Structure 1
Amino acid sequence: MVQLRFIGLLVAAVALQANAQYAGDDDVVGKVIPYGAAAYENREGEQPLQHWVGPAIPAAKDSACYRKTYRTKKCPVGYNSDNIATCWAQCPVDYPVECGMECLPQNADCTKAILGKVTSVATVALNAASSGMFGKFLSAGKGVQQGVKCGQQIFATVQKVTGYVTELEASGTGNTTTDQFQVLLEKSDLVTYDLPAAVATCLGKPIPAGLEKGNDIMDKVKAVTGQVLEAKKSGTNLLEPTNFIKFVADVGFSSAIPTLKSTQDVSSIKDAVSRGLGCGDAINKVVNRVIGMVQEIKTKDASTTVEALRVAVMGSDLVLKELPDAATGCFKVNMPNAFQKRDEVLKGIHVVLDGVINAASANAPTRTRGRALADEKPLSKADYALKVTEMGLDAISTFDPTGIADMAKEFVQPICGPTLFVGDIDDGPADQALGLRTMEKAFEGSVGDWKKQGDGQIHVTFKSTDSKDVEVVIKAGGQVHSKVKVAKGQTVEWSKPLSEFQGKTLYMDRWRSAILGVPMSSGGSLLAWIPSNAAGTLKLDVNLNNS
């Protein structure tokens, strides 16, 4: 069995180039941080990454990408129905122009040549790309020894439980008895979700769903929390290598981590945890909770279809809020391409979530097989639990953020999923908070401001310095929403509720008369991402230039 002292090499291998650093090791490796409010903060003395779309939306790397599809009538968040039986992904910010079954880069025209591509090509590409990356995750996960995963997850969880107890003491409960601390701990997410998941990994068992946890798992959970509380009471640092080795033996995990014999082994675990705690561990926690959510739904109705599960999961706070928080915590504000890397991590984990959801059926329907939805065979809760356990996805906790991002970049680029939610967008100038970007001269010089608390409206002031009358076509998620006529040299005010655009791209195209007075779309475009929070305010000053 691979020795834990070589865990750095093992993690680098399974993370697939996870050690590709930006400017040096300190960009990824930092001090271990406590559980609680600081859990997603970046390293000491450095600013965390803002909840912004980013000051520069990455340039499209391909001439087009295929829109991801699901064969169902009820669409998950980020998809539009064709009113027949298919949900199509809304075009994302890096490919905002909807063109049939494809999305094109900003400023591109939808041509007959692109429309002539065959649908089967798109679906084959979709399945090859998605399954290729998911298979890469599975291969990486299975390459990580159980002892490695157990050691890292127990170390990280003990660290967070210890930090949580410290927070309780600091919050004015310093006179609380050990029994009272135990009650408070048992009500926390740490003991409800995180610790049972870590124990299940060590025991080689499926992640428990909800409150349905076996006696063997709960006995270990109580043993761990008891040891942590006793250590706090006596002033013992359980994370000190010698103490951690004794702790592992006392709670009965020695057989799960047979190579944990020296302080050097513990130092290797500690180093791996410090690399992953702000990213891999936090993302793994969300994946575990999604698995638990699927199991709970199956407890109520084992026949729930894959597409019904997808709608429930993708519209949940786990995906819309907690996952973006975890991904944002992977990077520091001064990292080159931090916003782009964050988005690549989100793409990668969404592929994993697709795999987790599809695993709920023995034959999840795909377009390439042409199988009718009625032929789907949902798995029982028990069979699903075993299936996802065999995937080895708990190895995500060992992954460095650059490893996840590199896999996403390699496999997901040809496929357009919807723009992935980055949580509530913080206040800021529109070019940074919402990724506002203009191309060519038509809208050059346009600016704006976003506030997450406001009147729930988009306010646009169109100011023309053009020598001709123009029409601005405004699109939401790639589809035409409104058309605004602006006479030459005039100023026009336009407002609409944010709710009509939330969670979609805002795209503006200028139509202007050209040869023989025929209107044409030319001269440039404007693009921004509208947050999912409909309670904010967006103000845009849009220039219509003579070009």
Structure 2
Amino acid sequence: MAFWTTLQIWVFMGLVVVGRVASDDNVQLSETLGGSHGTEFSDEASVVAGETISFITIRAGERVDGISLGVSAPTAQTFTHGGSGGTDNTLTLGTGEYITSMTAHWDKKDGHTRIFYLSFGTSAGNTVSGGTQTDSAGSVTAPDGFQLAGFYGRDRDEIDLLGAIWASTDTATAVPGTVVPAQGPSPSTPAPEDSSVTQNSVTQTDLSSSNWSALGSSSGPNATVDSTLGSSTDDGTLITSEPPSTTAPTSSGPATQLSQSFGGPHGDQFSDLALATSGQTITSLIIRAGGRVDGLTLQVSAPTAQTFTHGGTGGTENTLTLGTGEYITSMEAHWGQKDGHTRIFYLSFGTSAGNTVSGGTKTDESGSVTAPDGYQLGGFFGRDGDEIDLIGVVWTSIKVIGEGSSDSTSTTVSDSDIVLSDLYGGPHGVAFSDINSIKFEQVATSITIRTDKRVDAVTLQIGTPEEVTINHGGSGGTDKTLTLGAGEYITAMEAHWGKKDDHTRVFYLNFVTSAGNSISGGTQTEDKATATAPDGFQLAGFYGRAEAEVDQIGAIWTRISAKDLALTDLEESDSLTYGSRTIRNWVGPTIGEADDTACYRKSVAYNSTNICPLGYGKDGDDCIAQCPLSYPVSCSLECIPQNDDCALETLSKIGSVVAVALNAATAGVFGEVLAAYKTAKWAITCVANIITVIRGLIYYLRYRQTTAPEGDTAELLVVAYQTDVVVYDLPIAVCTCLAINNGDEIISTGENVLNLLTGTGALNTTDSTVDELQDLIDTNSSCGYELKHLTDKVVRSVNEIRNTTPGAIVDDIRVSVYKSSIVLNDIPAVTNYCMGELLYNKTITAAFETRDLLRKTFGVIIDQLIETGTTDMGESVAEDEYMLKVSNMGLVALSAIDPTGIAYMASQFVQPICGPTAYLGEIDDGRLYDALGLTTVDEAFEGSYGTWTKKGDGVVHLILESVDTEDVTVVIHSGGDKYAEVDVAAGDTVTWDATIPELQDKTMYIDRWRPGLLGLPGSGGGSLVLWIPRSSEGGHIEMHVRINVS
């Protein structure tokens, strides 16, 4: 696609334009030039104003190997980055001479973007350079009164990415008008993409490092804002009339909120969120537009003078100058396709005084947002390049809101409470991780090592909050156990490793406790290392690779004082009438379970403004459901389960059709062929039987893909099925080909395979219907009361929307209802409230299943009310699911005695209709595994972890950490559609950011495949899935995506 070609030109060819300002007024960061590989570095913590730079050295050959900057005062130090190769080119600076410019050229080397050439210029006109010039180049210049004082970027043996750290040449003078963000960058915080900061000019700030709170999306009706006041000039500039006497409305909430966003996933990310504050005075807004919107500029005069500029410089300027007490309160956006990219074609902004400014060309696709009460437009977020690709509004409180007003007593989660040590050993065995089973407040009672010449296994025994045995490795070796005393915990792990049969194994382990006790076992080697817990941390589990022995091991340290969040923690809810507290609203473990091999994506029509309802995306002439958590992989008009592959799903259906077609051909031609040639019957029957076996092999491929067997036991199950197909079915097919009589006809079906692999008699069981909505409503519980009240409210609310807009088409009603408060807030809150009662007599899994069914039932009720104005109260839900399973079961059973194969083919096409995942509501704080349903299949992403907080900066921050031995491409999908690709070199750490509004209310699915035979997926891969929720308080996702050997 053209989009990915353009994105690769920007990202993989290496230009990452970054603008950031340090927390010190006298220190600023330039944009960065180069690529996203290597390890991050930064001199910022050591840079001060008034430095004396004595020399700069470039070490270069064909490319830039390294760079050194000598500082003689106020503290003598040398900043050195990169490797030691290349030839030194040194410039010694004179008294009062400063380095004021840097030029860089970059290109590809072995698939990585590297810095090929550097040149520095001084205030005295001197220069120094080194390397080879390329076609890709960029330069940065120090602001007035600043000099080069350090660097930041990425390096390894060479320089991959480089930015300048400018510092004031005067130790006493603060630069007026310099923009100060909420917090400065740190070496662990990656440079954000595509921004530049100059004095009083900002085009982007770092999303991942922002400390500011923000609310989630808020959308208004699709309506344009008409201008009734003011006058415009010939060039489209609009000058407001005398400002009205306006009293600013009072806001209730945080200083900033984020609107929903409009547009597409192209361009580079930007956000003004970190710099936008409450109490801002906006003086003007400029739209630069022609056929599309080229750029935007928002001028802020107080409390800090700054300018937010995004997009390119093309187009005609249309300016709105605001009067005293006037605020921008609405934005309308239109978007469409240009060269395969979604772009913003038109923007219109309205003010509290009724003035408007607009630019661009209107399209059929439009949307609008309106400021919450007491808020104004104070900045933007989105994606841009030479034009605006995606746009959302940062609403800021009109009144000043002080910081620190949030409730600090509530328990939340923090990514800093978990620290992983380095890994020791080799890339063999099966990947494992305890990350999603450990508890912060757990107490270890003992540790056991089973060793002989090498480490066979390691076992950590947990005593509280519940007894858990964490074990990895085999059963060989001799046990050694250390029992921990009260208050004693493990603080260090020493590991030795070496080769055995060309595999690197762990040969020796030694654990030391806080009381000075230790336990060890195995054989010491020359390759060794020690991992020590940070202060206040303890050993909570392990990660690594193991099978019969321990191949690789690392420690998982957790903060001793950290508190776990529990499902049963009480949370406030405004949607309840019977009390106001419910348990935590988490996604849970059951909503992502698939009960079929695929589902057909539900489709609905556009509304009158060509907008799809929440949970649907455009597909030609209609809207198609985004793939849900239970079937997160898009496959044309279908969605398939996690880790499945579209090619295999297609083969499965093709296989069933081919078998039927061949049998049909046999029936039609058989008589003529038999009359002419006796061998024809033999040939056709032979081919038909071989096709049946191939069909079984296709089923095996899909089973292996979706279950990803790991280790000896799981592999034996696979071998068992393989053996059945190859040793049993295939010989029978061959016997048929050889005209050998066979008394038993064997046909491989899905149920027989399931029976073989799991040991259950699926064909002999009956499914019990799940509780229906009416059953719970009829009970005397408070849950029943809440459900009855909610049901009445749903019926009343949907019918009110129908009645108040009698001329509206059904599709307009659907779009309005899907984004209403009753869908986004009330149904999730009330159904989650019932979880508290369900847990008294159901397991956690059964309680989640019932809650999910209640939400699905309300979805059916709402859809029925939208379509017809009446409802059967959800009775059809259980019946439809039951009939689907009965139909499919009957067809599969019938296929065993159906010589045509038509019944089997039909069974392949009997699938549920899936709508988008919906009615989950706002998710409460928690670790990703609990809160957002983080699930991994296969080894590629095993051990991935992270946190979700409802209150945050509106950012999804992924940290892709490779321990793989090969370079990989990680593919990120949103709602079933490919959204981004990220190249991660072996052993590298790469970050990827997006905003919550552009991904919210959708499934995020991440995969990484290596092609196998005929381009079909090989066994070396895996996938990760989780839900991206909306949040009225901004939200923040911090996820460590572990990339393992597999």
TM tier, shorter chain? 0.5 to 0.7
For 1:61-140, list aligned pairs within 5 A. Answer: 61-72=595-606, 73-84=610-621, 86-111=622-647, 112-113=650-651
Distance in 2, matches of 1:508 and 1:455, equals 23
Work out which of the residue numbers 261, 265, 274 in structure 1 matches 2:780: 274
Distance in 2, matches of 1:460 and 1:392, equals 44
State whether residues 469 and 487 of structure 1, in contact with CA within 8 Å, keep that contact through their aligned partners in structure 2.
yes
Deviation at 1:38, TM superposition (A): 7.0
For 1:444-483, list aligned pairs within 5 A. Answer: 444-483=942-981
State whether residues 283 and 326 of structure 1, in contact with CA within 8 Å, keep that contact through their aligned partners in structure 2.
yes
Deviations 1:259-307 (Å, cap 9, x if unpaired)? xxxxxxxxxxxxx5523x314x323333333333344334443222211
Deviation at 1:497, TM superposition (A): 1.1
| Structure-1 residue corresponding to 2:821 | 317
Deviation at 1:417, TM superposition (A): 1.0
Mapped pair 1:326 → 2:865: no
Give the SS at the match of 2:930.
Answer: helix
Deviation at 1:392, TM superposition (A): 6.7
Deviation at 1:92, TM superposition (A): 0.6
Mapped pair 1:544 → 2:1040: no
Distance in 1, matches of 2:981 and 2:612, equals 27
Deviation at 1:115, TM superposition (A): 7.8
Distance in 2, matches of 1:456 and 1:82, equals 28
| Structure-2 residue corresponding to 1:426 | 924
Q: Which runs of 5+ in 1 are unaligned?
A: 1-34, 43-47, 119-135, 145-151, 154-271, 361-387, 397-402
For 1:54-453, list aligned pairs within 5 A. Answer: 54-55=588-589, 57-72=591-606, 73-84=610-621, 86-111=622-647, 112-113=650-651, 272-275=778-781, 277-279=782-784, 281-332=785-836, 333=839, 335-336=842-843, 337=845, 338-360=847-869, 388=870, 393=873, 406=878, 409-410=881-882, 414-453=912-951
Distance in 1, matches of 2:801 and 2:791, equals 15
Distance in 1, matches of 2:1043 and 2:579, equals 42
Deviations 1:345-381 (Å, cap 9, x if unpaired)? 1112211211111114xxxxxxxxxxxxxxxxxxxxx
Give the SS at the match of 1:533.
Answer: coil
Give the SS at the match of 1:331.
Answer: helix
Distance in 1, matches of 2:968 and 2:653, equals 27
State whether residues 468 and 513 of structure 1, in contact with CA within 8 Å, keep that contact through their aligned partners in structure 2.
no
Give the SS at the match of 1:329.
Answer: helix
Give the SS at the match of 1:532.
Answer: coil
| AA at the equivalent of 1:289 | K
| AA at the equivalent of 1:60 | A
State whether residues 464 and 544 of structure 1, in contact with CA within 8 Å, keep that contact through their aligned partners in structure 2.
yes
Distance in 2, matches of 1:353 and 1:517, equals 43
Give the SS at the match of 1:482.
Answer: strand
Question: Per the alignment, do residues 37 and 429 of structure 1 end up closer, same or farther by CA in structure 2, a change over 3 Å counting?
Answer: same
Q: TM-score, normalising length from structure 1?
A: 0.53
Question: Per the alignment, do residues 411 and 357 of structure 1 end up closer, same or farther by CA in structure 2, a change over 3 Å counting?
Answer: farther
Q: Which runs of 5+ in 2 are unaligned?
A: 1-573, 658-768, 885-910
State whether residues 68 and 416 of structure 1, in contact with CA within 8 Å, keep that contact through their aligned partners in structure 2.
yes
Mapped pair 1:500 → 2:1004: no
Moved more, 463-472 or 306-315: 306-315
| AA at the equivalent of 1:496 | A
Give the SS at the match of 1:423.
Answer: coil
Larger radius of gyration: 2
| Structure-2 residue corresponding to 1:164 | none
| Structure-2 residue corresponding to 1:129 | none
Deviation at 1:74, TM superposition (A): 2.7
Distance in 2, matches of 1:317 and 1:341, equals 23
| Structure-1 residue corresponding to 2:246 | none
| Structure-2 residue corresponding to 1:51 | 585
State whether residues 1009 and 1022 of structure 2, in contact with CA within 8 Å, keep that contact through their aligned partners in structure 1.
no
| AA at the equivalent of 1:74 | I
Distance in 2, matches of 1:538 and 1:87, equals 28
Question: Per the alignment, do residues 40 and 83 of structure 1 end up closer, same or farther by CA in structure 2, a change over 3 Å counting?
Answer: farther
Give the SS at the match of 1:467.
Answer: coil
State whether residues 604 and 623 of structure 2, in contact with CA within 8 Å, keep that contact through their aligned partners in structure 1.
yes
State whether residues 344 and 409 of structure 1, in contact with CA within 8 Å, keep that contact through their aligned partners in structure 2.
no
For 1:11-30, list aligned pairs within 5 A. Answer: none
- Larger helix fraction of residues: 1
Question: Per the alignment, do residues 344 and 487 of structure 1 end up closer, same or farther by CA in structure 2, a change over 3 Å counting?
Answer: same
Give the SS at the match of 1:355.
Answer: helix
Q: TM-score, normalising length from structure 2?
A: 0.29
State whether residues 861 and 872 of structure 2, in contact with CA within 8 Å, keep that contact through their aligned partners in structure 1.
no
| AA at the equivalent of 1:410 | Y
Give the SS at the match of 1:529.
Answer: strand
Question: Per the alignment, do residues 94 and 309 of structure 1 end up closer, same or farther by CA in structure 2, a change over 3 Å counting?
Answer: same
Distance in 2, matches of 1:517 and 1:297, equals 51
| AA at the equivalent of 1:428 | G
| Structure-2 residue corresponding to 1:367 | none
RCO higher in structure (CA 8 A, sep ≥6): 1
Give the SS at the match of 2:1021.
Answer: strand
Deviation at 1:522, TM superposition (A): 4.4
Distance in 1, matches of 2:798 and 2:831, equals 22
Give the SS at the match of 1:286.
Answer: helix
Deviation at 1:474, TM superposition (A): 0.2
Deviations 1:380-431 (Å, cap 9, x if unpaired)? xxxxxxxx3xx575xx8xxxxxx89855753688121110132110000000
| AA at the equivalent of 1:442 | A
Distance in 2, matches of 1:40 and 1:419, equals 28
Question: Per the alignment, do residues 57 and 437 of structure 1 end up closer, same or farther by CA in structure 2, a change over 3 Å counting?
Answer: farther
Question: Per the alignment, do residues 462 and 521 of structure 1 end up closer, same or farther by CA in structure 2, a change over 3 Å counting?
Answer: farther
State whether residues 773 and 854 of structure 2, in contact with CA within 8 Å, keep that contact through their aligned partners in structure 1.
no
Work out which of the residue numbers 566, 571, 578 in structure 2 matches 1:39: 578
Give the SS at the match of 2:629.
Answer: coil
Aligned length: 323
Question: Per the alignment, do residues 537 and 414 of structure 1 end up closer, same or farther by CA in structure 2, a change over 3 Å counting?
Answer: same
State whether residues 348 and 408 of structure 1, in contact with CA within 8 Å, keep that contact through their aligned partners in structure 2.
no
Distance in 1, matches of 2:624 and 2:1016, equals 32
| Aligned-CA RMSD value | 3.6
Distance in 2, matches of 1:545 and 1:291, equals 50
Deviations 1:77-126 (Å, cap 9, x if unpaired)? 10011142x111111101100111111000000023468799xxxxxxxx
State whether residues 465 and 545 of structure 1, in contact with CA within 8 Å, keep that contact through their aligned partners in structure 2.
yes
Distance in 1, matches of 2:592 and 2:802, equals 39
| Structure-2 residue corresponding to 1:232 | none
